[in-house]
Amino acid sequence: MATDAMQDIAVDMLTEAQARDELSRLASVLTAANQAYHTEDSPDLSDADYDALKRRNLAIEERYPQLKRADSPSEQVGAPLAEGFTKLAHSVRMMSLANAFDAPEIEDFDRSIRRYLGLADDAPLAFTAEPKIDGLSLSLRYEKGILIQAATRGDGAVGENVTVNARTIDDIPQTLSGAPDVLEVRGEVYMSHADFSALNARQEARGGKRFANPRNAAAGSLRQLDAEITRSRPLKFFAYAWGELSEPLAPTQMGAIERLSALGFSINPLTKRCDGPTEMLAHYSAIEEQRATLGYDIDGVVYKIDDLALQARLGFRSTTPRWAIAHKFPAELAWTRLESIDIQVGRTGALSPVARLTPVTVGGVVVSNATLHNEDYIAGRDATGAPIRDGKDIRIGDWVQVYRAGDVIPKLADVDLDKRPPGSERFVFPETCPECGSDAIREDGDAVRRCTGGLVCPAQAVEKLKHFVSRAAFDIEGLGAKQVEQLYRDEWIAEPADIFSLKERFGSGMQQLRNREGWGEKSANNLFDAIDEKRKIPLGRLLFSLGLRHVGEVVSNDLARHYLSWSALINALDAARAAAVRYREAEQAVTRERQAAAAEGRRAKLKETRDGCWAADPAIPAEARAAWDELIGIDGIGETVAVSLVTSFGQPTERASIDRLAACLDIQDAERPASDGSPVAGKTVVFTGTLERMTRAEAKARAEALGAKVSGSVSKKTDIVIAGPGAGSKGEKARELGVEIMDEDAWLALIGA
C-alpha cells in the first residue's frame, strides 16, 4: 500500500504531506492542460479526465484548506494562467469558515461562544443567518469612496489583483457616497443558473469548453487576463463582510450589512437576524426549502454573531473566526456494494481500514473508496462503546450508503441488512500489521490500532521518509515521494539519516539512478548538492519533518520558538519524560475506569483515579514535573501532543534514529517573535484567580494575539502574573520568585484594552 502511486490514493486517505505533493502534481498537470487547451487549442486530456483531476484537486483542497496553493488550479477554471495577475496583500486577512453539519453542532456553537464570553445560558445572544453563496470571494477596497482595488482571496494573506475585471461587474459600485474613507467590502462573486446555462450554450456553439458548474464559471470569468471577456460574462456580487475600515459601519452585523446595502451593494435578501439556535435552525430550513428556486448555488447557511463588539472579543482562530460558522447542507447519498476492506498503514503505524466500493456517483462525483475510520466503526460502535448505525456492523458484500460530508470525504452512513448476503461474517480486524507482521495493538483510550513495528515496518518507514522529504519538511529538490520509495525498495535508505550519507556510500553508483524511470532529469550530482543544501535546517522544520504523531507544522514551530535550540528542546523533553510516562499511565487508567464504570452502570471515579496515579503522585521528580508543566504551558501544546512528543523522543529506536539524523545536520536556532511594539510581546504571562472582565479563554487568546506566551504555571521564566480574586498558590509562588503581579485592570490598561 505504501508504494501506491500517489494518484491512486483516495483523497480521504492522503496524509497531509502526500496531499501537499499531490496538489503540486495536480497544479502542474492541470496548468499544462489549461495551456494546451487555451493557447495551443489542443486539449491533451479528455474533458472527463480533466474534470476528474480538477475534482480531485478541489477535494484535497477542501480536506486540507491550509495546503491550497496560491496557484491553485481550482481558481483558474478555464482561465488563462494565473501568472498574469499581480499579487495584492490583504490588509486584513481573508478568513474561511468552520463548518457544521447538524443542529447539535449549531447548539454547540452557541454554547461555546457563551462559554468563551462568560455569558449565562439564558443571556440574550443574537446571530445573523444568511445563505452561503457558492462562488468565489472578492475583496474590494474603496478609498474616499472610489474603488481602487479588487483582490481574490488567494491564500487569505495574498490574493490576485483583479481590479480591472471587477470594474466590469454591474453589482460592484465604482464610487460610493457617504462611505468611510477606507472601506474594504468583501463578498462573493457568483453566476446565476440562467446565466450559467446561457454561457455554456454560447461556449458550446463556439466550440469552447463548457464549465462544470456556476462556481467554476464565475471563477473562470473573473480571472480572465482580458477584462473584456469578464465584461461579457454575467457576474454578480453579494456583499457580506468587510476588511479594513477607517471607521465602523455600524454596531451590529445586521446594521453593517444594511449600511452596505444603503451604499449601493447587493446584499442577500435572505439575511436575517435570529435570537438563537432555534430561530437560526428555522431560518436554515426556510433557506433550504428555497434552495432549488433561488436561481443561484448556495451550499449552506452562515451564522454570525450580530453584536460587532462581541465579534471583536471573540476574534479568530488561525484561519477561521470564532464568531461565525457555516452550516452546510446535508451531503448527497447513494447506495452501493462494499467489495472489500483494505488496511492501510500510515506513518505513525495507524491501521486505517478503507472500503473499496462498486463505483457509484454521489453528487456528480464517482466514489469508489470510503473511509471506515477504525475497527469500532466497522463493528458499529463509537469511541465510548455506544452503538452507531443502531449497532449494525459493516461486512464485506454489504450494501452500504455512501455520502460525501462537506462535499468531500466519502463516508458510509448506513448498511442495508435486508440485502446482507447470507452466510456473511463479521469483519475481523487484523491484530498484526498487514505490511510487516508485527503486532498491531490498541492502547487504552486510542481509537486506532497501531503497528508496533516502528521503523521495522516498511509501510511506516516509507511513509515517514515520504513525509520527511515533503515540501513543508526537508523539501529536497529531485527527491520526492517516488524517488524515496525507490531508494527504500532498493535498500539504499532505511531512515532519514541515510539520505545524508548517500553520496558517501553510493557516490559513484548513483549513475544508475539517472537511467531510472521516475528519477527525472536531475543528475546524481545535482541531487547530492540539493541534499547538502538542506543540511542547514531551521529547528521548527526539522521537528515537523520527524513526522511524530500530533506534531504538525504549527506545533513544531511553537516548540521551536519556545525552546529556541535543538539541545534545549532535547534536554527539556528528556527532563519531562518521567512525568509524561506517568501522565500517560494516568490517562489510560482513567479510560479503563470510565469503561468499567459504564459497564457496571456506576459513576466513574475519574478524579480519584487521576489523582491516584498522577496529580498527587509523589514519585514524579519535581524536575520532571516542572519540565512537563513548562511543555504543556506552551500555547498550543496540550497533554496529548506533549505525551506523543516526549514518548517518541524517549523510545530507544526512534531516538537513535533521530540522533543519527541530527548528527548530519546544522540545526538553526529559532528566534523569538519580534515585539512589534506590543508591550507584552515575548513575555510569559500566567492568569490565575477569577477574572471578572473576561473569561480565561478570552484572556489567553488576547494575550497571545499580542505576542505574549500564556503559561499555566508560575516559574522563574514567568514575566507577569495576572491575579484575580482567589489567586492561591500561583500568587504565592509569584511573590516568592519575585515575579511581577498585577490585577486584571492593570493588565487591561497595560495592553491598552
Single out the residue of 60, 241, 308, 723 in contact with ligand IVH (rule: CB under 6 A).
241
Name the CA dihedral angle for 229, 230, 233, 234, rounded to a multiple of 10 degrees: -160
Least distance (Å) between residue 503 CB and ligand IVH: 46
- Distance between CA atoms of 417 and 397, rounded to whole angstroms? 11
Tell me the per-residue interface mask from 321 to 350 with ligand IVH, x by CB under 6 A, - otherwise: x--x-x------------------------
Say how many C-beta atoms besides its own lie within 10 A of residue 460's C-beta.
27
Least distance (Å) between residue 701 CB and ligand IVH: 16
Binders of ligand IVH among residues 464 to 483 (CB under 6 A) are: none
368, three cell numbers: 469508489
Backbone φ, ψ for residue 708 (5° rounding): -85, 160
Q: Identify which of residues 188 and 463 has a Cβ nearer to ligand IVH in the complex.
A: 188
Residue 129 sits in the site that holds ligand IVH (CB under 6 A): no
Stretch that binds ligand IVH, among 125-133, 427-435, 478-486, 608-616 (CB under 6 A): 125-133
List % helix, strand, coil for the chain (3-state, nearest 5).
40, 20, 40
Helices (H), 404-508: 458-469, 481-489, 496-499, 502-506
Question: Contact at 8 Å (CB) between 296 and 133?
Answer: yes
- Distance between CA atoms of 92 and 346, rounded to whole angstroms? 38
Q: Identify which of residues 406 and 538 has a Cβ nearer to ligand IVH in the complex.
A: 406
Tell me the per-residue interface mask from 181 to 220 with ligand IVH, x by CB under 6 A, - otherwise: -------x--------------------------------
The neighbouring-strand residues paired with 404 are 410
Residue 130 sits in the site that holds ligand IVH (CB under 6 A): yes
Torsion-angle region of 676 (φ positive above 0: left; ψ -120 to 50: alpha; else: beta): left
Q: Which residue is nearest to ligand IVH (CB)?
A: 137
Question: Contact at 8 Å (CB) between 362 and 136?
Answer: no
- Distance between CA atoms of 544 and 562, rounded to whole angstroms? 15
Least distance (Å) between residue 97 CB and ligand IVH: 4
Residue 254 sits in the site that holds ligand IVH (CB under 6 A): no
Annotated catalytic residue 236: no
441, three cell numbers: 495493538
Out of 132, 328, 466, 730, the active site residue is: 132
Stretch that binds ligand IVH, among 94-102, 142-150, 287-295, 682-690 (CB under 6 A): 94-102
Stretch that binds ligand IVH, among 83-91, 131-139, 430-438, 605-613 (CB under 6 A): 131-139
Single out the residue of 132, 209, 404, 549 in contact with ligand IVH (rule: CB under 6 A).
132
> Nearest 5 degrees, angle CA 371-CA 377-CA 381?
160
- Distance between CA atoms of 109 and 192, rounded to whole angstroms? 31
Least distance (Å) between residue 515 CB and ligand IVH: 47
Residue 97 sits in the site that holds ligand IVH (CB under 6 A): yes
Segment (H or E) for 623:
helix 622-633
Q: Identify which of residues 329 and 399 has a Cβ nearer to ligand IVH in the complex.
A: 329
- Distance between CA atoms of 21 and 13, rounded to whole angstroms? 14
Q: Identify which of residues 97 and 479 has a Cβ nearer to ligand IVH in the complex.
A: 97
Give how far the C-alpha of residue 616 lies from the chain's centroid of Cα atoms, to the nearest Å.
Answer: 37
Q: Identify which of residues 317 and 419 has a Cβ nearer to ligand IVH in the complex.
A: 317
- Distance between CA atoms of 447 and 438, rounded to whole angstroms? 19
Q: Identify which of residues 99 and 715 has a Cβ nearer to ligand IVH in the complex.
A: 99
Closest residue by Cα to residue 718 from 637, 626, 642, 641: 626
Determine the 3-state secondary structure of 109 from DSSP: helix
- Distance between CA atoms of 356 and 412, rounded to whole angstroms? 11
Least distance (Å) between residue 695 CB and ligand IVH: 22
Single-letter amino acid code for the residue at 123: A
Q: Identify which of residues 240 and 563 has a Cβ nearer to ligand IVH in the complex.
A: 240
Single out the residue of 50, 116, 196, 240 in contact with ligand IVH (rule: CB under 6 A).
240
Backbone φ, ψ for residue 630 (5° rounding): -65, -45
Closest residue by Cα to residue 203 from 229, 235, 225: 229
Least distance (Å) between residue 99 CB and ligand IVH: 7
Single out the residue of 2, 53, 133, 343 in contact with ligand IVH (rule: CB under 6 A).
133
Residue 613 DSSP code: I
Q: Identify which of residues 131 and 346 has a Cβ nearer to ligand IVH in the complex.
A: 131
- Distance between CA atoms of 244 and 141, rounded to whole angstroms? 8
| Residue entry with cell 458499529 | 380
- Distance between CA atoms of 519 and 509, rounded to whole angstroms? 14
Least distance (Å) between residue 269 CB and ligand IVH: 12
Residue 137 sits in the site that holds ligand IVH (CB under 6 A): yes
Residue 558 DSSP code: H
Least distance (Å) between residue 255 CB and ligand IVH: 16
Question: Contact at 8 Å (CB) between 375 and 350?
Answer: no
Single out the residue of 95, 239, 263, 372 in contact with ligand IVH (rule: CB under 6 A).
95
Q: Identify which of residues 67 and 302 has a Cβ nearer to ligand IVH in the complex.
A: 302
Least distance (Å) between residue 145 CB and ligand IVH: 23
- Distance between CA atoms of 136 and 79, rounded to whole angstroms? 14
Residue 242 sits in the site that holds ligand IVH (CB under 6 A): no
Say how many C-beta atoms besides its own lie within 10 A of residue 701's C-beta.
21
Stretch that binds ligand IVH, among 320-328, 501-509, 543-551, 582-590 (CB under 6 A): 320-328
Least distance (Å) between residue 166 CB and ligand IVH: 15
Binders of ligand IVH among residues 276 to 305 (CB under 6 A) are: 302
- Distance between CA atoms of 629 and 709, rounded to whole angstroms? 14
| Residue entry with cell 507584552 | 680
> Nearest 5 degrees, angle CA 212-CA 24-CA 469?
155
Least distance (Å) between residue 96 CB and ligand IVH: 4
Stretch that binds ligand IVH, among 92-100, 337-345, 548-556, 719-727 (CB under 6 A): 92-100
Binders of ligand IVH among residues 149 to 188 (CB under 6 A) are: 188
Least distance (Å) between residue 65 CB and ligand IVH: 8
Say how many C-beta atoms besides its own lie within 10 A of residue 131's C-beta.
26
Report the length, in residues, of the chain.
753
Tell me the per-residue interface mask from 36 to 75 with ligand IVH, x by CB under 6 A, - otherwise: ----------------------------------------
Segment (H or E) for 376:
helix 375-379
Single-letter amino acid code for the residue at 604: A
Tell me how many residues contact ligand IVH (CB under 6 A): 14
Stretch that binds ligand IVH, among 126-134, 274-282, 348-356, 442-450 (CB under 6 A): 126-134
592, three cell numbers: 479503563
Stretch that binds ligand IVH, among 95-103, 502-510, 613-621, 712-720 (CB under 6 A): 95-103
Residue 96 sits in the site that holds ligand IVH (CB under 6 A): yes
Q: Identify which of residues 302 and 479 has a Cβ nearer to ligand IVH in the complex.
A: 302
Provide the annotated active-site residues: 132
Chain residues in the site for ligand IVH (CB under 6 A) = 95-97, 130, 132-133, 137, 188, 240-241, 302, 321, 324, 326
